[in-house]
Amino acid sequence: MVSILGAGPAGSTAAYYLAKSGYKVELIDKTEFPREKPCAGGLFNPEMYHQEFPHVKEYPGKYIYRSKFYFGIDNDYNVAGYESSRPLLKMVMRKEFDYFLLNKAIEAGALFYVAKNPEGEIIIDATGVKPPHFYKDAGICLVFDYPLSSDIDTVHIHYGFGGITGYAWVYPKQGFANIGIGAYLPQRNIRKIYKNYVDFLRRNRIVEVDDVKYMAKIIPFAPRSRWYERNRVFVGDAAGFVNPATGEGIFFAMLSGKIAARMIVEGRDFNWYENECKRRFGYWLEPIRFRNRPGLLNMILKKAVKIAEKDKDFAGMLTENFFRLGAHNLTWRFLLRLFF
Ligand SMILES: Cc1cc2nc3c(=O)[nH]c(=O)nc-3n(C[C@H](O)[C@H](O)[C@H](O)COP(=O)(O)OP(=O)(O)OC[C@H]3O[C@@H](n4cnc5c(N)ncnc54)[C@H](O)[C@@H]3O)c2cc1C
């Protein structure tokens, strides 16, 4: 028998694929479902989700094709817009999406328990984010789903808002706007900067919201040093599989869960798991260049948004890189546009 601890996207996906292959699986969470999870709920590059996890196609979500990238504060900012022919995002409510994935695992034959001791010979640890010291780098995110009177359809990414090493965002959902901010730790005054961002959105009539609300949560920005120990393999946030440039983690959580299931079904070892994860998505977990020089990093991002304002191709590449639609080497293009 296999025990899976944590029934978020990583755990439920591992359980789904193991149960489908005929394995006896116990999926154990510390809480009852459906449960809240502070998250923007953006499935980046939905076409790739549907290709990799065909059952996700059944889940209804709002598709987003338009993006706006900003750099600057208050009324002194550059902004580059882009409309893609392929969906950038499928927006979901995490409470419902995670419950959907859990039910898929149960339908496939996994047994779900709340707060039970694991009995399996192998343990898949999908217990989500750990305290920051578990990871080489970690961040803090503040987020809330605000109900809207009229829907919006453009995602807003505001690099370096309030001087942070990170970005603030608006992700539109059906009937809601998810407004959030994420920055590398340590970060002072993040609550104040979040409030300023909501004010900025109001002033610029991007989103009309009343009270400022948020939930705060730690986010890994680098994998932990070991991805397995003894009979336990780490998947998803427990392993630190989040793209530090965007905060995207759901896809890597689900993919690492699927790879862990494949490891067991094909009788492979933990070393194979580690190499397969690196091969499939290691590129997207690379640390951000100049992350320790926030002044320089923000100067480059500001310049990039300025270039994208005038150059549609560059704006397209920036957008595709951000939403994982494609991996473009932006450096050469950036340098060329800088000097010519
Ligand atoms: C504010 C914010 C916004 C984000 N926005 C996005 C986004 O738009 N798109 C995106 O792709 N990613 C986003 N992420 C990242 C994403 O939320 C995570 O990467 C993803 O949820 C990881 O899934 P998981 O299954 O590993 O962990 P989780 O979803 O955290 O699930 C872990 C589960 O384990 C359970 N658990 C914990 N401890 C135990 C235990 N001891 N025993 C049993 N069960 C336990 C928990 O109850 C929980 O159900 C965001 C993160 C934050 C903080």
Domains of the chain: 2-40+93-134+222-285 (3.50.50.60), 42-91+138-220+289-340 (3.30.9)
Locate all alpha helices (DSSP H) within 46-93, ordered by sequence: 46-52
How many helices (H) and strands (E) the chain has is answered by 9, 16
What pLDDT is attached to residue 46?
A: 98
- Report residues whose beta carbon is within 6 angstroms of any ligand 1 atom: 5-11, 28-31, 37-42, 44, 126-128, 141, 143, 180, 217, 219, 236-238, 242, 247-251, 253
How far apart (Å, rounded) are the C-alpha atoms in residues 209 and 224? 38
What pLDDT is attached to residue 254?
A: 98
Ligand 1 center from residue 140 Cα (angstroms):
13
**Closest atom of ligand 1 relative to the 12 alpha carbon:** 25
Torsion of CA 277, 90, 245, 69, to 10 degrees: 160
Give the phi and the psi of residue 246 in degrees, each rounded to 5: -130, -20
Ligand 1 center from residue 36 Cα (angstroms):
10
Residue at token pair 């926030």: 294
Residue at token pair 């400022």: 212
Residue at token pair 């730690």: 218
Neighbours of 262 (CB within 10 A): 17
Total residue count of the chain as it appears in this document: 340
Judged by DSSP in three states, 26 sits in strand
Residue at token pair 């025990």: 3
Nearest alpha carbon, ligand 1 atom 2: 39
Best mutation site among 33, 37, 243 for ligand 1 pocket (most ligand atoms within 8 Å of CB): 37
Tell me, what DSSP letter sits at residue 85? S
What pLDDT is attached to residue 337?
A: 80
**Burial environment of residue 74 by CB neighbours within 10 A (0 to 12, 13 to 18, 19 or more):** exposed
Best mutation site among 13, 39, 48, 53 for ligand 1 pocket (most ligand atoms within 8 Å of CB): 39
Judged by DSSP in three states, 301 sits in helix
**Burial environment of residue 153 by CB neighbours within 10 A (0 to 12, 13 to 18, 19 or more):** exposed
What pLDDT is attached to residue 338?
A: 78
Nearest alpha carbon, ligand 1 atom 37: 127
Record the pTM.
Answer: 0.97
Ligand 1 center from residue 38 Cα (angstroms):
8
Q: Where are the beta strands (DSSP E) in the chain?
A: 2-5, 25-29, 42-44, 62-64, 66-73, 76-83, 89-91, 111-114, 122-125, 138-147, 154-159, 166-173, 176-184, 215-220, 228-229, 232-234
Tokens of 158: 């505001």
Torsion of CA 158, 199, 218, 322, to 10 degrees: -20
pLDDT in tens, the chain (340 residues): 999 999 999 999 999 999 999 999 999 999 999 999 999 999 999 999 999 999 999 999 999 999 999 998 777 899 999 999 999 999 999 999 999 999 999 999 999 999 999 999 999 999 999 999 999 999 999 999 999 988 899 999 999 999 999 999 999 999 999 999 999 999 999 999 999 999 999 999 999 888 999 999 999 999 999 999 999 999 999 999 999 999 999 999 999 999 999 999 999 999 999 999 999 999 999 999 888 898 999 999 999 999 999 999 999 999 999 999 998 888 888 888 877 7
Ligand 1 center from residue 6 Cα (angstroms):
9
Give the phi and the psi of residue 79 in degrees, each rounded to 5: -140, 130
CB 72 within 8 A of CB 100: no
CB 269 within 8 A of CB 231: no
Ligand 1 center from residue 202 Cα (angstroms):
29
Ligand 1 center from residue 87 Cα (angstroms):
23
Tell me, what DSSP letter sits at residue 320? H
What pLDDT is attached to residue 329?
A: 83
**Closest atom of ligand 1 relative to the 249 alpha carbon:** 19
Nearest alpha carbon, ligand 1 atom 20: 250
Ligand 1 center from residue 90 Cα (angstroms):
17
Nearest alpha carbon, ligand 1 atom 3: 39
Q: CA 320: distance to chain centroid?
A: 15
What pLDDT is attached to residue 216?
A: 97
Residue 262 parent element (H or E):
helix 250-265
Q: CA 334: distance to chain centroid?
A: 25
What pLDDT is attached to residue 76?
A: 82
Locate all alpha helices (DSSP H) within 185-240, ordered by sequence: 190-203
Question: 21-56: b or e for each residue (b if 16 or more CB lie within 10 Å)?
Answer: eebebbbbbeeebbeebbbbbbbbbbeebbeebebb
How far apart (Å, rounded) are the C-alpha atoms in residues 277 and 280? 5
Ligand 1 center from residue 231 Cα (angstroms):
22
> CA nearest 124: which of 275, 246, 23, 250?
23
